[in-house]
Each structure stands twice: as C-alpha cells, then as structure tokens.
C-alpha cells in the first residue's frame, strides 16, 4: 500500500500539474525511469524492480545508515536470495531528508517535515549495530566499533557521510565538528542571536529561519542591512545549497517589500558560480536580475560573532619570475585578509571525512575513500566499495548522485561476489534542484562531461514552476519510499 504522505503529495502534484496542462507521466520523466516507475505504481514499478536474485553468499557490512547506506542495503536485500547484511550506524534518525534543510531555513518546511526514525527504514533481515565504526583493519577484513565490538566481513561498503568542520574557522572553535542530524547545541550556543546561521545542521536550519525573519523585519523597518553567504575551500555536500539559501532570503525580502534595504553578497572560495558553464552563466544572469552581488576567491577564515564581522582570505594569482626554459611566468598566489561587516550571515562550513575513516588504512591523503570513480570499488582493497559524500568521486555529493551510485555499487558488488567482471559504470550523474525563488527551480543536471544532461526536453538553464513542485512535493517521498526501498 502506498504511504499516505506519498499519496497526499501525489494528489497535490496532480492538482497543480492539471492547472499547467502537464501529465504526471511527463513530469516524472525528469526523475528518470526508475523513480517515475516507482511513483506511478502498477506494472511499470514491478517491471523496473524485478530481477533474478543472485544466489551468491557473503557477509556484507555497511558503515553508515543514512540515505546511501540504507538504500544500498535495501537494494542488496532485493537482489540477493540469501542476504547477510549488517549496518553500523549510531544515530536513530540517520535517514532523515537532509535536502529539506534549505526549505526549513526559509520557513517552507518545518523540522518535523523531514525527520524520520531509522528503524522504520531498515530492510527486513538486515542487522543494525547502533554504534560508530572507529577502526578499520582491511588486511584482516575487520571493523571495530566505539564500544569495542569487532565486526568481520567479506565485503565492506563505506557510506558514512561527512563532518561539518566549523572549528576550522577562527572564532568558531567551540562549535567544533558536527554532523547534519547530530547535536547542534554548540552551534546554537556560539551563534546565539547574532544573525550568524547555517542550514547544514537541521537544528541550525530551524535557527536560520528565525534569524532570517529578524533580518527581513529590520529591512522592512527601513534599516539598511547586509547579508553575506559563504562557500568554503573544501568539497561540500549539496554544492548548490549556499546559493539556494541566498535566493530564498532574497525571495523573503521581496515578499516583505523590503528588498531595496538589503544588500546580499555571495563569497565563494572558487572563481565561478557553477562548474558547468551553462549553469554558471544562467546563475550570473539571475544574480544580476535580482541585484545580488558576489566576490569570487574569498574563503571564510574567521568570524567575530559579537561584533558581526567576517574575515575572508581573498586570494588571486600574479605573475612571478620568468622561466626561460619553459618560456612562461611562474604564477604566485597572493593573499589578503578582508573584513566584512554583516547583519545576517549564512556559513557553509568546511567539510571532511570523519578522521577515524579518512586517516585509516581505507582512507586517502585527502581523507576521502579512494575508489574507481566508475565502479565505486576501492582502488586498493577489492572487497571494499564506497558511495555518497565520503567517496572520492568528482561531482558526486548529492542525493541525486547517490540515486545513480547505489545501483552501480550493488551491481558491481554482486558481480565481484560471483567472480564476474565489473560492468556497471557510474557516469558522474549529478542533479541539483537549484531553488532560485519561492516557486521557481532551475534543475541543474550534469555529469563528468561538465555539460548539461537534462532528463526532460526543456532548456535546463531556465527557472520553472514545475521543478519547484517536484522539489517541494515529490523528491522527499521519492527518496524516503523509493530509494530507501531500493527501487527508485
């Protein structure tokens, strides 16, 4: 029976689509066949998920029970006739819908809209160890937990996600390292009522909405206010979120008739709005149309919460000495600290793999799990696979990426169990529903070609209401009841 939340979402979507003269079938093409089939139900869903179960047997351990880990566990359960799967996950709410944080931060969702209990999404027969993996012994196929339990495996899947490294920023040392769904009390204590916010923790997203309302109210009262939004010098999950919350702040100001009193500026560490030129160009035009400003190559290094001043490392390159042999100039990176006052500030924190994983034998020099970017198999240990935010895969840190990755991983893990070649390939597909306004989304889809790869025959650089409907009403239930069932 279809979950009531999903059924309610479908009814809302159908009503809105009817007004637009679009069928649900056509709309779901954007989500790809697997997701569309699941949400349409009936024979298409059965055809999309039916497969001959493999009789291969092995003890499989999954480190991380979030979206990536539990979706993989579900698909393995569907694909093996005699599965033996253990998930190591300490949190009781690990599968909650993290992409909804952006909508919480702008007052569109509430926290209760995205919170779920992990136990409700554990596939039948899967064992869960409610603990944290802290030591890895890949030579002997063992994982040790914080409580001292040793867990052996034939195959290991690492899907543990990332840490939010607020403590790397001067002035925020007391916040330390957080997880999106973990205890964010230190963040709340340090940020206080200062206007400093971050939607990268769920409780932080709740506070963001409170601070955003104060910011809008100040602007509406006639006060001239400044809002700043950052993007760090590390890889991050959901790379579009720093811009989404800026767009939504702009939208709330417009809604209040207070936009003229607010200056909004984006400070990314990089030199572009987006890694795909077509989307970069579209975003620049959107920023210009909304009178939103930006300063490239600014990395946040310090925050004076009490005095509401952010310090950025502004960096650029200049010509150095001339190399006569190479017939070119050496390029020298220059740095300058720039102080920026603010009334409202959204911080996207630096991110990293958990130290106990990144610094272990299964990690790499950069902390992430080194895998073949197409097969998702560890480059050194052939019985280890990884996916999601912690995998060293370019452009692969969104829920949409995981939707492609977990199917590839399951195919290749079973092929390895059966002694067959790994033929399934992840092509780098990533999707970012970039919220540009309340009621508008630009659906940025791309892969390693760094070219738009739209699933629907519409200009992908255009903001559309239909993508807003998909984002707000459909992606959450599709994720919770499609991916976490191993189907979508």
Measured torsion, CA atoms of residues 246, 250, 255, 259, in degrees rounded to the nearest 10? 150
Given 310, 384, 408, 432, which residue is catalytic?
432
CB 143, CB 361: distance < 8 Å = no
Side-chain-side CA neighbours of residue 347 (13 Å): 36
Handedness of CA 459, 460, 464, 470 (dihedral sign): positive
Rounded percentage of the chain residues whose pLDDT exceeds 70: 90
- Give pLDDT tens digits for 219-233: 999 999 999 999 999
CA distance 213 to 44: 45
Q: Which residues have C-beta within 8 Å of that of residue 330, sequence separation ≥ 6?
A: 319, 320, 321, 322, 323
Instruction: Give ∠ CA 373-270-280 in degrees, rounded to 5.
Output: 80
Indicate if the pLDDT at residue 320 is higher than 90: no
What integer is the mean pLDDT of 427-440?
92
Tokens of 151: 């867990």
What pLDDT is stored for residue 50 in this prediction?
Answer: 43
Query: Who wins on pLDDT, 448 or 409?
Result: 409
| Superfamily grouping for domain 51-161+355-428 | FAD/NAD(P)-binding domain (3.50.50.60)
Q: Name the H helices within 293-387.
A: 355-358
How many Å apart are CA 112 and CA 96, to the nearest integer?
10
Region 214-223: what's the mean pLDDT? 98
- Which of the following is catalytic: 68, 238, 362, 431? 238
Query: Highest mean pLDDT: which of 112-116, 290-294, 322-326?
Result: 290-294
Mean pLDDT of 178-203: 96
**187 included as an active-site residue:** no
**Architecture of the domain spanning 165-351:** 3-Layer(bba) Sandwich (3.50)
Q: What is the pLDDT of residue 231?
A: 98
Is the CA virtual torsion 386, 389, 392, 394 positive or negative? positive
Asked about 238 being catalytic, the answer comes back as yes
Map residue 405 onto helix, strand or coil: helix
pLDDT at 256: 98
List, as one string, the DSSP characters of 406-463. Answer: HHHHHHHHHHHHTT----------EEEEEEEETTEEEEEEE-TT-SB--SSSS-TTS-
Per-domain boundaries in the chain: 51-161+355-428, 165-351
Q: What is the mean pLDDT of the chain?
A: 90
**CA–CA dist 104, 226 (Å, integer):** 21
Note the pTM of the prediction, 2 decimals: 0.90
Tell me how many degrees the CA angle 242-247-253 measures, rounded to the nearest 5.
130
Is residue 1 over pLDDT 60? no
- Which has the higher per-residue pLDDT, 412 or 400? 412
Which tens digits make up the pLDDT trace of 231-252? 999 999 988 999 999 999 999 9
Q: Is the pLDDT of residue 330 over 90?
A: no
Give the DSSP H or E segment for 93. Answer: none
Residue 31, pLDDT score? 44
pLDDT top residue among 476 and 259: 259
Residues with Cβ within 8 Å of 485's Cβ and at least 6 positions away in sequence, in order, are 38, 74
Q: What is the pLDDT of residue 408?
A: 97
Q: Report pLDDT digits (tens) over 134-146.
A: 999 999 999 999 9
Q: How far is CA 346 from CA 46, 119, 225, 230, in A?
A: 44, 33, 14, 6
| pLDDT tier, 325 (very low <50, low <70, confident <90, very high otherwise) | confident
Phi, psi of 61 (to 5 degrees): -115, 130
- Whether the per-residue pLDDT at 467 is higher than 50: the answer is yes
Q: What is the pLDDT of residue 39?
A: 44
Q: Are 279 and 239 in contact (CB under 8 A)?
A: no
The band of 2, judged by pLDDT with boundaries at 50, 70 and 90, is: very low
Residue 461's closest CA among 484, 479, 436, 425? 436
Diameter of the chain by CA atoms? 73
- Residues linked to residue 227 through DSSP beta bridges, in sequence order: 264, 344
In this structure, the number of other CB atoms found within 10 A of the CB of residue 347 comes to: 27
């Amino acid at each position: 029976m279809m979950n009531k939340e999903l059924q309610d979402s479908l009814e809302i979507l159908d009503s809105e689509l009817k007004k637009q003269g679009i069928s649900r079938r056509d709309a779901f093409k954007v989500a790809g066949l697997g997701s569309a089939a699941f949400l349409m139900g009936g024979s298409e869903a059965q055809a999309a998920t039916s497969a001959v179960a493999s009789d291969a047997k092995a003890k499989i351990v999954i480190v991380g029970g979030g979206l990536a880990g539990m979706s993989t566990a579900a698909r393995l359960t569907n694909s093996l006739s005699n599965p033996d799967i253990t998930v190591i996950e300490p949190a009781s709410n690990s599968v909650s819908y993290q992409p909804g944080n952006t909508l919480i931060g702008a007052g569109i969702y509430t926290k209760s809209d995205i919170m779920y209990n992990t136990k409700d999404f554990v596939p039948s027969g899967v064992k869960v160890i409610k603990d944290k993996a802290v030591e890895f012994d890949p030579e002997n196929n063992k994982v040790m937990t914080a409580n001292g339990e040793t867990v052996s495996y034939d195959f290991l899947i690492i899907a543990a996600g990332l840490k939010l490294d607020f403590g790397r920023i001067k002035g925020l040392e007391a916040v330390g390292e957080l997880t999106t769904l973990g205890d964010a009390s230190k963040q709340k204590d340090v940020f206080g009522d200062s206007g400093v916010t971050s939607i990268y923790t769920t409780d932080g997203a709740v506070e963001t909405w409170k601070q955003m309302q104060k910011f809008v109210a100040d602007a509406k009262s006639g006060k001239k206010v400044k809002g700043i939004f950052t993007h760090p010098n590390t890889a991050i999950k959901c790379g579009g979120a720093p811009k989404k919350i800026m767009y939504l702040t702009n939208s709330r100001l417009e809604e209040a008739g207070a936009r003229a009193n607010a200056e909004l500026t984006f400070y990314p560490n990089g030199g572009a709005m987006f890694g795909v030129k077509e989307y970069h160009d579209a975003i620049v035009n959107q920023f210009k149309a909304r009178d939103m400003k930006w300063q490239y190559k600014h990395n946040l290094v310090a925050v004076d919460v009490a005095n509401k001043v952010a310090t950025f490392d502004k960096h650029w390159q200049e010509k150095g000495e001339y190399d006569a042999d190479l017939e070119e100039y050496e390029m020298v990176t220059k740095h300058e600290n720039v102080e920026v006052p603010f009334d409202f500030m959204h911080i996207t924190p630096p991110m990293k793999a958990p130290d106990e994983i990144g610094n272990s034998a299964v990690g790499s020099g950069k902390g992430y799990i080194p895998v073949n970017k197409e097969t998702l198999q560890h480059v050194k240990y052939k019985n280890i696979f990884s996916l999601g935010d912690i995998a060293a895969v370019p452009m692969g840190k969104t829920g949409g990426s995981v939707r492609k990755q977990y199917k590839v991983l399951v195919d290749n893990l079973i092929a390895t169990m059966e002694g067959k070649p790994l033929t399934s390939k992840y092509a780098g597909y990533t999707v970012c529903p970039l919220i540009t306004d309340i009621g508008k989304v630009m659906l940025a889809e791309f892969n390693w070609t760094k070219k738009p790869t739209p699933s629907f025959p519409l200009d992908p650089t255009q903001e559309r209401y239909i993508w807003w409907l998909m984002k707000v009403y459909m992606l959450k239930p599709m994720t919770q009841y499609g991916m976490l069932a191993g189907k979508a």
